[in-house]
A and B are shown apart, each in its own frame.
Chain A
Amino acid sequence: MTAVDTAPPAPVAIRERRRPRSATLGLVVLVALLGYLVLVPLIQLLVAVAEGGAAAAGNAVAGRGLGSAIVTTVVLTLGSLAIAMVLGVGMAALSVRLPRGWRWTAVLPILPVVAPAVASVTGWAFLFSPRSGYANALLRMVPFVGGDSGPVDVYTAPWIVVITGITLSSFVYVFVRTGMLNLDRGLLEAAQVAGLSPGRAFLRIQLPLLRPVLVYAAGISLLLGLGQFTVPLLLGTASGVEVLATRIYRFTADTPADYAAAALVGSPLLVLGIALVLLQRLALGDQTRFVAHSGKGAWRTSRPVRWAPVPLLVFALVAVVLPLAALVVVALSPFYSARIQPSMFTLANFTRLFRTPFVLDAVMTSLMASIAGALLALVLGYLAATVIHERRWPRTARMLDVLVNLPLGVPAVVYGAGFLYAYSRPPVVLYGTDAVIVVVYLTLMLPYATRSLLGARIALGDDYLAASRVAGAGPLRTHLQIVVPLMRAAIGGAVALMFVLLTHEFTASLLVRSGTTQVMGTKLFDLWSNGSYPQVAAMALVMTGITAAGVVVAMAASGGSNPLERL
């Protein structure tokens, strides 16, 4: 203290004069950069609409099926939301009542999020193709089922809803489970003292307390359902099932591409996405009145339910293990058919896959772009989190908060169309280069990076910073030598999580890829559209393997806890 008190005032005064100017300049650069990354693709789409005018509107509504696509989108969204909420909340409730020795099963409902969607959807197709699906063949052996087709037709709208619902249930599970773990045990004890049965306590006490979490989970699922692209694209094409997202994609894939029509079709999704992000920001300020944190977990010590692991195991079996097993069988077979013939198993499909031009390139591009995108997002996310946390510029902080969260709210297919349009013309022409993939990935990961680091930064508090500044360290030194080392676990976890999310990114990649610049997911889609099924399965397994390796790294980097729960 003495040293500080007796420090010569002049240097401090100089620093105080210079710091705001350089900091302000840095802030302007940061806001401009983030604004360009996040807003320019969307603004460019609006410009395309303005340029397209009435003709674009005509194209958007012309042809067959716009009404049908809207109805299918609504049905898909609401249907999958209902399935996701029931499954997600149910599994979350069971996951906090697992018996000792079975608590590891709590991670199982998250696996469908971790597995690349484009890979698991192909696995579902191999299981439930009406005539040749392995699971269908087994189900037909059940008495009273029979027939030579079905009973499930994975290519129809109802089953697309079911598969989407299962995928979304993992998101609901993560949010609701985290909310349940944070509930106050005292409230549960009070309910029991008052004579409520566990079921009634769940319905009357816990569910109302979880309302913000449930609303948030439902909002995210609603948004993901509205923008759902992978499942309808891969499974719906054969039976003519089209949603708004696949319609947007087809407008951008047409010759010539009609961005204005794509933007018009995507405008409801865009508006809803932005509205959700703004609502979420508004709700955050008020949510503490609902949450009853007391530091003593309620459900961890609740009476275990012996059968609780069973539904979680069944879910993992149906949602992850069986599709993966189907992929393995098809990848090892010379051709795909309902008859499994182990005597014919071969690794030739993998050999052939890696001899196919651009496959290895696609794997390398995925890895490089994922690493580069995650690291760049980390840097920008750190700076954004710092500005938001410190609130030296409150208005700018609030604006940045909304800005970095936009890519989470706007469906990837809408953003993808914007990226393609924006980066195929001056001033920044990146089409056909690996750089466009990196920039797209960086933009998509901004919310994840900022949220992870903001959470860790809040938890860290300001005492260390104050001490560092009092000791005479400048802001740069304080961040590099104090804040960053103290947040290294959060930083490692965030990078690893972003890497996992990016290695199986499909939707935006499909829109911005070129003939020679591909990533794993888009190459898999090309094989699905134009290649043999065994090679599709082989590619899906390669993609799953790389993502799985990323998950292991993510778990290690985040200290063993599930990285998804960090968000």
Chain B
Amino acid sequence: MKLTRLPPRARAATAIVGAAVALLVAACGSAPAAPANAAETTPEWAQVLSDASREGSAVVYTSFRQNQQDALLDAFHAKYPAIDVQMSRVVAGVAGKIQAEKQTGAAGADVVVTTEAQLPDQLAPAGDLMTIEGPHAEQWKGSPHFDGKSFPATFNVWGLTWNTDQVKQAVTTYRDLLRPDLVGRIGLLDVATGPAVADFYQFLEQTQGPDYLAALARQQPRFYPSAVPLQQAAVAGEVAAIGMVVPDVREDERSGAPVGFALPDPAWAAPQVAFGVTWAKHPNAARVLLDFMMSPEGQNALALNGVSALPGTSGLVPIDKVRISPVAPSTPDAIKQFDARWGELFRK
């Protein structure tokens, strides 16, 4: 059903029903007042919606976990059935992919969601970032998290997971990872995986003491190339415990996998930064999607694994209970220095 084909009366009815649903969702989720519905019906936004429907789809390269993708798509398609959002999980090398698409004009991402929080700053000088405008984007203006070009779609927290077949005693704190029964049986991410991982190791140093990383290295950890294989290794029992897991591991637990999950206090959370690219093949669909991700409905869907930047949006944990990345200097030189120090500990 394309919105452009609706008669004016039906469009008005849709707007009223939409507003009622939004109010209900906002009330249930303790979200702030409903979005600026007046703005949603401005001629400019109506034109964007009309053009987005005509474009029909948007392609997203995303670091979202599967449960976040599912929740966002369900909510988005319920509101905008004429726009098909296709999400492709791209974690490593997303910058290279979109640069290649820019240079060759190839079809590719309209919207990017990434854990590489510095990427928007790297792309902005070349004018690669789409200006994010829309009724819900208006509400983010003035937020320290929104500069008009990118925003943290959500903050995924990292917790601890242990395989209940492999260890009898739960692993609920980072200190537990140093237990003698876990020598050679914990899994970690290599610091080369990305700047966010380097930041997490520095968070451990800050919260667990300066000797913690050396003690962790003595546990003879096994390294994995990215977070999902690491999590799968814990579910499979390939490693007994890991301290870098997103809470969607509880879905494996619910399906019968022998795993437990604990959220330490404080926990560390990494932003999943969203932006649109100026060479998008579906620019209007991208705008509608980005604006929806900023809405209370979008934020409720995305905060399944952590924290929302939108005040009042319910997430797994309140934002004041986590340490938001970066917790340490994140300049290239600072990261390089830490990489070298980490290497001396873990790459012996």
**A→B interface (CB under 8 Å):** 64, 129-132, 148, 237-238, 240, 253-257, 334-339, 341, 344, 357-358, 424-425, 429, 431-433, 514-517, 526, 528-533
Chain A residues within 8 Å of B239, by CB: 131
Please pick, from A238, A357, A514, A533, the residue contacting B236 in the complex, using a CB distance under 8 A: A533
* A415 to B: closest C-beta gap in Å: 18
Mask, B226-266, CB within 8 Å of A = 1, is: 10110010011111000000000000100111100000000
7 further A-B contacts with Cβ under 8 Å, apart from A424-B100, A432-B101, A515-B109, are A131-B239, A238-B223, A238-B225, A336-B236, A429-B105, A432-B106, A530-B89
Question: Are A516 and B89 in contact, with the CB atoms below 8 A?
Answer: no
Question: Are B235 and A337 in contact, with the CB atoms below 8 A?
Answer: yes
Chain A residues within 8 Å of B109, by CB: 515-516
Chain B residues within 8 Å of A337, by CB: 165, 235-237, 257-258
Q: CA separation between A257 and B97, bound complex, in Å?
A: 10
* B230 to A: closest C-beta gap in Å: 10
- In the complex, the chain A residue whose C-beta lies closest to that of B57 is A357
Question: Are A424 and B103 in contact, with the CB atoms below 8 A?
Answer: yes
Question: Are A514 and B101 in contact, with the CB atoms below 8 A?
Answer: yes
Q: CA separation between A131 and B61, bound complex, in Å?
A: 33
Question: Are A238 and B257 in contact, with the CB atoms below 8 A?
Answer: no
B7 within 8 A of A: no
Question: Are B100 and A514 in contact, with the CB atoms below 8 A?
Answer: yes
- If A131-B237, A334-B256, A335-B256 touch, whether A253 touches B232 (CB-CB below 8 Å) is no
Chain B residues within 8 Å of A240, by CB: 223
Q: CA separation between A357 and B61, bound complex, in Å?
A: 11
Chain A residues within 8 Å of B228, by CB: 529-532
* B221 to A: closest C-beta gap in Å: 12
Chain A residues within 8 Å of B93, by CB: 253-255
Please pick, from B224, B225, B238, B255, the residue contacting A131 in the complex, using a CB distance under 8 A: B238
Mask, B202-230, CB within 8 Å of A = 1, is: 00000000000000000000111110110
Question: Are A529 and B229 in contact, with the CB atoms below 8 A?
Answer: yes
Question: Are B107 and A432 in contact, with the CB atoms below 8 A?
Answer: yes
Question: Are B236 and A431 in contact, with the CB atoms below 8 A?
Answer: no
- If A335-B252, A337-B258 touch, whether A529 touches B225 (CB-CB below 8 Å) is yes
Q: CA separation between A454 and B95, bound complex, in Å?
A: 46
Chain A residues within 8 Å of B255, by CB: 334-335
B104 within 8 A of A: yes
Chain B residues within 8 Å of A528, by CB: 229
B144 within 8 A of A: no
Chain B residues within 8 Å of A255, by CB: 93, 95-96, 99
A-B contact list, 5 entries, CB within 8 Å: A253-B96, A257-B100, A335-B255, A514-B97, A516-B107
Please pick, from A132, A344, A532, the residue contacting B237 in the complex, using a CB distance under 8 A: A132
Q: CA separation between A64 and B86, bound complex, in Å?
A: 38
* B42 to A: closest C-beta gap in Å: 31
Chain B residues within 8 Å of A358, by CB: 86, 88
Q: CA separation between A68 and B223, bound complex, in Å?
A: 18
B108 within 8 A of A: yes
Q: Chain B CB within 10 Å — which of A130, A357, A424, A425 has the most?
A: A357
Within 8 A of A (CB), among B166-223: 166, 222-223
Chain B residues within 8 Å of A532, by CB: 66, 228, 232
Question: Are A431 and B104 in contact, with the CB atoms below 8 A?
Answer: yes
Question: Are B92 and A344 in contact, with the CB atoms below 8 A?
Answer: no
* B102 to A: closest C-beta gap in Å: 11
Please pick, from B98, B226, B258, the residue contacting A530 in the complex, using a CB distance under 8 A: B226
Question: Are A129 and B225 in contact, with the CB atoms below 8 A?
Answer: no
Chain B residues within 8 Å of A433, by CB: 106-107
Chain B residues within 8 Å of A533, by CB: 232, 236
- If A129-B238, A254-B96 touch, whether A514 touches B232 (CB-CB below 8 Å) is no
Question: Are A129 and B91 in contact, with the CB atoms below 8 A?
Answer: no
* A209 to B: closest C-beta gap in Å: 48
- In the complex, the chain A residue whose C-beta lies closest to that of B122 is A255
- If A255-B99, A256-B99, A432-B101 touch, whether A335 touches B236 (CB-CB below 8 Å) is yes
- In the complex, the chain B residue whose C-beta lies closest to that of A533 is B232
- If A335-B252, A432-B100, A515-B61 touch, whether A357 touches B108 (CB-CB below 8 Å) is no
B87 within 8 A of A: yes
B15 within 8 A of A: no
Q: CA separation between A148 and B257, bound complex, in Å?
A: 19
* A433 to B: closest C-beta gap in Å: 7
Question: Are A529 and B226 in contact, with the CB atoms below 8 A?
Answer: yes
- In the complex, the chain A residue whose C-beta lies closest to that of B230 is A238
Chain B residues within 8 Å of A238, by CB: 222-225, 229
- In the complex, the chain A residue whose C-beta lies closest to that of B119 is A255
- If A337-B237, A431-B106, A516-B59 touch, whether A526 touches B100 (CB-CB below 8 Å) is no
B90 within 8 A of A: yes
Chain A residues within 8 Å of B235, by CB: 335-337
Question: Are B237 and A338 in contact, with the CB atoms below 8 A?
Answer: yes
Question: Are B97 and A515 in contact, with the CB atoms below 8 A?
Answer: yes
- In the complex, the chain A residue whose C-beta lies closest to that of B222 is A238
Q: Chain A CB within 10 Å — which of B95, B237, B258 has the most?
A: B237
Q: CA separation between A532 and B222, bound complex, in Å?
A: 19
Q: CA separation between A255 and B258, bound complex, in Å?
A: 38
Chain B residues within 8 Å of A335, by CB: 235-236, 252, 255-257
Chain A residues within 8 Å of B88, by CB: 357-358, 515-516
* A348 to B: closest C-beta gap in Å: 9
Please pick, from A64, A254, A357, A431, the residue contacting B100 in the complex, using a CB distance under 8 A: A431
Question: Are B92 and A253 in contact, with the CB atoms below 8 A?
Answer: yes
Chain A residues within 8 Å of B257, by CB: 334-335, 337
- In the complex, the chain A residue whose C-beta lies closest to that of B109 is A515
Q: Chain A CB within 10 Å — which of B91, B96, B100, B236 has the most?
A: B236
- In the complex, the chain A residue whose C-beta lies closest to that of B95 is A255
User: Lowest 6 CB-CB distances: which A-B pairs, in order?
Assistant: A432-B106, A255-B96, A357-B86, A132-B236, A431-B104, A255-B95
Please pick, from A256, A432, A517, A531, the residue contacting B96 in the complex, using a CB distance under 8 A: A256
Q: CA separation between A559 and B89, bound complex, in Å?
A: 44
Q: CA separation between A256 and B103, bound complex, in Å?
A: 12
* A249 to B: closest C-beta gap in Å: 11
* A75 to B: closest C-beta gap in Å: 21
Chain A residues within 8 Å of B61, by CB: 515
Mask, B62-105, CB within 8 Å of A = 1, is: 00001000000000000000000011111111011111110111
Q: CA separation between A526 and B90, bound complex, in Å?
A: 8
Chain A residues within 8 Å of B165, by CB: 337, 339
- In the complex, the chain B residue whose C-beta lies closest to that of A253 is B93
Within 8 A of A (CB), among B102-158: 103-109
Q: CA separation between A515 and B108, bound complex, in Å?
A: 6
- In the complex, the chain B residue whose C-beta lies closest to that of A334 is B255
* B304 to A: closest C-beta gap in Å: 17
* B18 to A: closest C-beta gap in Å: 26
- In the complex, the chain A residue whose C-beta lies closest to that of B86 is A357
Please pick, from A132, A334, A514, the residue contacting B108 in the complex, using a CB distance under 8 A: A514
Within 8 A of A (CB), among B309-348: 347
Question: Are A432 and B92 in contact, with the CB atoms below 8 A?
Answer: no
Q: CA separation between A308 and B347, bound complex, in Å?
A: 49
Q: CA separation between A104 and B99, bound complex, in Å?
A: 53
- In the complex, the chain A residue whose C-beta lies closest to that of B259 is A335
Q: CA separation between A255 and B106, bound complex, in Å?
A: 17
* A559 to B: closest C-beta gap in Å: 42
Chain B residues within 8 Å of A357, by CB: 86-88
- In the complex, the chain B residue whose C-beta lies closest to that of A361 is B86
Question: Are A516 and B252 in contact, with the CB atoms below 8 A?
Answer: no
Q: CA separation between A544 and B102, bound complex, in Å?
A: 35
Chain A residues within 8 Å of B108, by CB: 432, 514-516
* A342 to B: closest C-beta gap in Å: 13
Chain A residues within 8 Å of B86, by CB: 357-358
Q: CA separation between A222 and B103, bound complex, in Å?
A: 38
Chain A residues within 8 Å of B95, by CB: 255
